[in-house]
Structure 1
Amino acid sequence: MTSVKEFRIEEEATADDLGRGSFVFTDDYSVFDWGKMPDQIPQKGATLCTMGAFNFELLEAEGVPTHYRGVVENGDVIDLEDASHPPWEMAIELTQVPDLPHEGREYDYDSYHDAAGENYLVPLEIVFRNRVPVGSSLRSRTEPADHGLAFDEWPDEAVDLDEPIVEFTTKYEESDRQLGPDEADEIAGKASIADLESVAREVNRIVTEQADSAGLVHEDGKIECLYYQGEIRVADVVGTFDENRFSYEGSQLSKEVLRQYHKRTQPEWVQAVDAAKAEAKREDVADWKSLCDADPEPLAESVLETARDMYCAGANAYTGREFFDAPPLSSAIGAVQRL
């Protein structure tokens, strides 16, 4: 299904009913929309499953509908607190995901929604931002004054926002696009973008409060949602170090560490990715990756181990439980700072 998790179907979704299945998390990772990278990060998949399950259970306790059913252990669906080891499979309800036809970079959302009916995955990502860290796309698209900030230009440090910003991007296009409210509303179909924004703000509040209780700063993140007979439910996975950016004592605690590391150590590949995306846009081609003339190089074993400790120590800190054999978070972050 994606570059970092696989998909199991037990019962297909229909126009009238949700199906059943599961996510099977892997130790793969992806940066810059590349898809599966040459390496794996040990236990990364289990940290994503654990944090995702933990957050879904927080959301359900706060009355936020989700597609989560539990984690899977020995074929049984159980609550996270009953798991005897860090889970790697998450049981979920399934919705319909129709085909999205396109010609070049023109996508036929009318066809998607004609097939979707009242049971479908909303083809949007809803992004929320509490802080603008170095590396955030907001810096390249807007000026500080656009958000009421008293800076002439973005400083070389993270900037806190007085109020969270919620934005919409495409989900299934080859390269994600930022959307204005009118286009987002059209792409969302029967799902109201006002309702989607409301759900995103509530998810952001819950994750931010949990992070704060663990001594972490929740900088930004995203959710995906399904629409089922008039109700919006949170889908995919929520509040992990891949979907969200956290920081600890001023240092990044998220996949952003890997993005920035590749920018520093493999700039030629990162530049080739950017050039391929720009060329695809000029030529109205959806598959930008076929235009890229470089591939990423594998990472050193020591870097993968540092990334593993970051994910595991961070998951322990966020959940307040020792799911993983990992160093203290301060030690894991110290190693990240030395990369």
Structure 2
Amino acid sequence: MTSVKEFRIEEPATAEELGHGVFEFTDDYSVFDWGKMPDPIPDKGASLCTMGAFNFELLANESIRTHYRGVLPADGGKPVGLDVVDEPPTEMAIALSQRPDLPREGTDYDYDVYHEAAGENYVVPLEIVFRNSVPIGSSLRSRTDPADHGLDFETWPDEPVDLDDPIVEFSTKYEESDRYLDRTEADAIAGKAPIEDLDGLAREVNDLVTRWAATQGFAHEDGKIEVVYHQGNLLVADVVGTFDENRFAYDGQQLSKEVLRQYHKRTQPKWVEAVDVAKTEAKAQGVADWKGLCDAAPAPLDDDVLQVARDMYAAGANAYVGEQFFDAPSIEDAVAAIRDL
């Protein structure tokens, strides 16, 4: 399904009805849309599965619909709640929707064909992004000016910027390179799912994750949701509130995949630059496969860096859910190690 998460189909979805499937979380990671990077990060998959399940259960307690059906115990069996498993899960049972083909010619995608096949049951081909702040590394800094959001800065400062009201944006989900959309285009791409309802659902999820994170000492900076449209209902899909989908901070230190992005920018700048050049060239040529134009590849990470990354995911998951699912340092020690990278 993605470079870091696979899924298996147990009962296919139809044009009218949801199916059943399972997410299989791996220890792989991806930055800069590269896909699978050279090294796995131990316990990363279990950390994401644990945090994702915890957040889906928070949403269920607030009567927010999701595609979550439980986690699978290590010894097999039916899906259960996170409180039932004895060790961190790596598989999550979900309700499956349709994901029709999205034809393209160059960089032009035919969403009409997608929705003709979608019926009343489909994955909305958008990512809905919410922002409570503008941290270092946020794409908002390169795409917009502070004044666009009512902020009293001429240029973006070198530190994170808190927002009085969350910003909600829409980007493509299934295109070769993600692009941000205005509301009119996002509404057209969403099909039968009303753009106002997608906006409202994102704000509900954001508010709940933000409030919970604060009780555990985390600041929730930004994140995203993906959504299934089924028979007039919207279901929160994919995974919610993990260190891959969202940015969190603890004691002023960012805890998310952004740590790995920034580390690569500092230590492998030639590869990061080659990625940017390839994406720019692909756009100029009107082709979608930018990786075929990239003349560099990422190098493996040192073992000590992988250990810091592992502890970020594992210690962060322990602190976020409030239970010791993983044998990991304290969140304070994990944060200190990240600062020393």
Identify the residue that residue 223 of structure 2 maps to in structure 1.
221
* 1:109 lines up with 2:111 in the alignment: yes
Q: Aligned letter for 2:40? A: Q
SS at match of 1:77: coil
Task: Give the alignment of 1:103-252 within 5 angstroms.
Answer: 103-252=105-254
For residue 104 of structure 1, report the CA deviation from its aligned partner. Answer: 0.3
SS at match of 1:76: coil
Match of 1:97 among 96, 99, 112: 99
Identify the residue that residue 31 of structure 1 maps to in structure 2.
31
* 1:6 lines up with 2:2 in the alignment: no
- Could you give the per-residue CA deviations for residues 219-248 of structure 1, whole angstroms, max 9, x where no partner exists? 000000000000000000000000000001
Q: Aligned letter for 1:69? A: R
Identify the residue that residue 307 of structure 1 maps to in structure 2.
309
Q: Aligned letter for 1:143? A: D
SS at match of 1:78: coil
For residue 142 of structure 1, report the CA deviation from its aligned partner. Answer: 1.1
Structure 1 unaligned residues grouped into runs of 5+: none
Structure 1 length normalisation: TM-score? 0.99
Identify the residue that residue 43 of structure 1 maps to in structure 2.
43
Number of equivalences: 339
- Could you give the per-residue CA deviations for residues 49-89 of structure 1, whole angstroms, max 9, x where no partner exists? 00000000000110110000000012321000001100000
SS at match of 2:6: strand
CA RMSD of aligned residues (A): 0.5
Which contiguous aligned blocks of 4+ residues in structure 1 show a shift greater than 3 angstroms? none
Tell me the distance in 1 between the aligned counterparts of 2:260 and 2:77. 33
For residue 4 of structure 1, report the CA deviation from its aligned partner. Answer: 0.5
Tell me the distance in 2 between the aligned counterparts of 1:75 and 1:259. 37
Identify the residue that residue 63 of structure 1 maps to in structure 2.
63
SS at match of 1:232: strand
Structure 2 unaligned residues grouped into runs of 5+: none
Name the % identity.
70
- Could you give the per-residue CA deviations for residues 97-146 of structure 1, whole angstroms, max 9, x where no partner exists? 00000000000000000000110000000000000001100011111111
Match of 2:298 among 272, 296, 299: 296
Structure 2 length normalisation: TM-score? 0.99
Q: Aligned letter for 1:13? A: A
